[in-house]
Amino acid sequence: MGNQGMEDLIPLVNQLQDAFSSIGQSCNLDLPQIAVVGGQSAGKSSVLENFVGRDFLPRGSGIVTRRPLVLQLINCNTEYAEFLHCKGKKFTDFDEVRQEIEGETDRVTGANKGISPVPINLRVYSPHVLNLTLIDLPGITKVPVGDQPVDIEQQIRDMIMQFITRESCLILAVTPANTDLANSDALKLAKDVDPQGLRTIGVITKLDLMDEGTDARDVLENKLLPLRRGYIGVVNRSQKDIEGKKDIKAALAAERKFFLSHPSYRHLADSMGTPHLQKALNQVRRWCSSSPWTLRSESKALVTRWTRWSSLEEPRSTASSTSASPSSWSR
Ligand SMILES: Nc1nc2c(ncn2[C@@H]2O[C@H](COP(=O)(O)OP(=O)(O)O)[C@@H](O)[C@H]2O)c(=O)[nH]1
Ligand SMILES: [Mg+2]
């Protein structure tokens, strides 16, 4: 059930955010946001892109995401995208959106793998999305390449912290299945800011790339390194799929088939995959629309914090949850 008052507030908040951004200030509104964190090439951008159902984010090996991308999804009858840095220009071709993200990244950071904490603000209007803000972030790297500063790891860490320390930020901690969970940058960062795991969801990518004879069953059953809200496994498109222009619909069907046919994951199939992750995020939407948003302004002490959404819903203790109602994210 939506809350009309809340829906009405969104355009106002968007205007406020734009006004602050245009004078180079951050607006300091504690609105619900979802940030993806994890190591480089963990699959963060791939996970986000699946939520929008469109190919528009630069993805690939090496450092691809080099500035934070603040992506506001706005439910609306028509589908188009708009950047804050070229306001008024409507993008209907999502390949052009990707080119613009790449061009705008290079404009500020140079083309030689440099990074910048200055976010790119993008709005996607679509009938298929919920009003949510997603944040795509550079992955943690340890060794500087190209024009990167010597303290690249610290700089990226600070960049991520700037978003995930906010209590209104839901953290998608993305770890690829073909690495050891104990070494997960994502889980380490999430634990630092959310030690109780109230606002962290573990996301395990690349389940299709595990060595033969190994599986992530213990992780996905939430037994190995338990998280309050558990882990959701996903299978995103491989680089070959991207180059072959495999569409998202076909990728989702292949993902479903993967979980249903895999002997180690079959029993978990209904609580795995991108659609299930979308449903889990839909819970955030419910928290958002059932809790009073309060806007925080440093200057006028306008309002206090919005009620902690995390306390409104019982956290999930195991991976075997029942199916929720159909998500309006799904198409
Ligand atoms: N096979 C496979 N490849 C994946 C998966 N997730 C991501 N990739 C590939 O891994 C690379 C990095 O993905 P990207 O989303 O850019 O990672 P990011 O650096 O964390 O944003 C791309 O080539 C993706 O195609 C997955 O679940 N399975
Ligand atoms: Mg990325």
Provide the CATH number for the domain around residue 302.
3.40.50.300
Encode 156-167: b = buried (16+ Cβ within 10 Å), e = exposed.
bbebbebbbebe
Mean pLDDT value of segment 24-48: 81
pLDDT over threshold 50, residue 162: yes
Q: Has residue 169 been placed in a domain?
A: yes
Name the closest ligand to CA 205: 1
Start-to-end Cα distance in the chain: 19
In the structure, what pLDDT confidence band is assigned to residue 319 with cuts at 50, 70 and 90?
A: very low
Range of the domain at 298: 32-312
Measured from the CA of 42, which atom of ligand 1 is nearest?
20
pLDDT over threshold 80, residue 256: yes
Q: Has residue 138 been placed in a domain?
A: yes
Q: Has residue 18 been placed in a domain?
A: no
Measured from the CA of 235, which atom of ligand 1 is nearest?
27
pLDDT over threshold 50, residue 46: yes
Q: Whose CA is nearest to atom 28 of ligand 1?
A: 206
Q: What is the pTM of this model?
A: 0.80
Q: Has residue 160 been placed in a domain?
A: yes
* Higher per-residue confidence, 62 vs 86: 86
| 200-225 per-position pLDDT tens digit | 999 999 999 999 999 999 999 999 99
CB of 40 closer than 6 A to ligand 1?
Answer: yes
Q: Please count the structural domains in the chain.
A: 1
Q: Has residue 323 been placed in a domain?
A: no
CB of 43 closer than 6 A to ligand 1?
Answer: yes
CB of 41 closer than 6 A to ligand 1?
Answer: yes
CB of 11 closer than 6 A to ligand 1?
Answer: no
Q: Has residue 11 been placed in a domain?
A: no
Nearest partner of 28 among 238, 326, 301, judged by Cα: 301
* Higher per-residue confidence, 293 vs 110: 110
Cβ contact 190:200 at 8 Å: yes
| 3-17 per-position pLDDT tens digit | 455 555 656 666 776
Q: Has residue 324 been placed in a domain?
A: no
CB of 15 closer than 6 A to ligand 1?
Answer: no
Q: Which of 50, 55, 236, 262 to mutate to test the pocket of ligand 1 (most atoms within 8 A of CB)?
A: 236
Q: Which of 36, 235, 238 to mutate to test the pocket of ligand 1 (most atoms within 8 A of CB)?
A: 238
Q: Has residue 226 been placed in a domain?
A: yes
Task: State the pLDDT at residue 31.
Answer: 60
